[in-house]
Structure 1
């Protein structure tokens, strides 16, 4: 597939992930959050394995690979979706989408801490800008800057857990296809989340009965399109165009979340959210290293093009 085709797929994924913040807001309003999340992740896992079976990518894991899968599932699926489902009950879809937009920034920080990635002035400035943007969003109450939103804090903890899991996924990627790892993580994580939901939400199963057909459509779209297909396409794109170029597209996710929350849910966007959005976008572009890597690749391509034009 040509590069522009990959870019089109990435835009689709960012749209799906942005709209997923809207769908999550609908789902937690109709189901108990943890129980709903356990079944949503299970459906996503089944979908991923059906696709992987069709591609011939399913195999048994080694003991070492299972250790990585279990650890990554604890952070990427259990902790991430636990805090995410609770967070959506206490914040707006627009704010949640903006906070989720800090994912590449937090991943870059984790890479510096655990993988020895180099800290540059670009990244340092980006980290400061990004977290200033998060503060603009989280330090608000009804549109002013007077207090913390617990829901926003929980969503932020969800993205921190997910960012740490990417370090584990990176370590396992030498021998394990990230797409297959995704399937096993979702399957294992859904089981753990279901056990937690039985304890935390004794009436959770009964809450899954009686929802209208349109709510179930939202449930299926969130599980299959956003979670299952979205992650498979994103992992495929990383393998084709690289992590740096793919990460830049993640800036579209909070944009789509903002637009969707206004158009579909009728939410009002505050000046604090707009300011935070702009700071997060600048922070992610600088702090994730995506802009630096892209500029470096462009310079290298220009040098190679100039050398190719020189007479032999």
Structure 2
């Protein structure tokens, strides 16, 4: 079993690689090789099998052709330009999120090996006039360039699977929190920074009010779900390979209360509320009442409480912050 993680230098890519190394097998087969690819060479964890790093711009078809060969059994397509950057720089969002996805799928088609492809999409495919609750079969209505690019990617994964070019599955990820590291250009970045920074003794700005509700999942549970998602039999997914990844909806206030329950009252005092209309214009278009029934029926799961999200950060990431 040879695995390729495209976006292997990112948070989820690195955590996924470590978890797969610990697990040692995928889809009932021993892992015998792994490649982590990103725009620059990713860090490589120790592994009991051959593991290598590759730099690859998926916007370049030739680079993708040099990355993916007939020996690859499972491809995790995690690489993306995040929401805020894709909105402010339309060209780079299209190049990576749309054309990059197509380049990967076209390479798989050319090889005629039908690899498993796990594509990470986003809840940003929903927005505007969408009924509540949102189901897996609700028609996407993205209100951002990022959401549009991800929705197109979902359709491509579904059609390439229907044609037998890949064995694909596309998961609409909740907002991942609490993320370690530094803030990025995602519109949702504050949904981690308002917890991460205070837990590290630093001030953080929250651009929405305490009643703002959103759909969340911890990095640890996301990785577990990506592994489970790769192991689902293609026939079990039916005629659509796209589904929501399970998460939980909480308000900012509920999440701050959860942090206080785990870490005491001091971190919450470091959060400063300050309106940022440009962020609100994006995130308030994201819908909140979501029913991830399909993924739940296939074995994926959500965190039980946001207190779990805080504990996972303290256990997995704070010691290295």
TM-score for the superposition, normalised by structure 1: 0.31
RCO comparison, higher one (Cα < 8 Å, 6+): 1
Higher alpha-carbon Rg: 1
More strand by share: 2
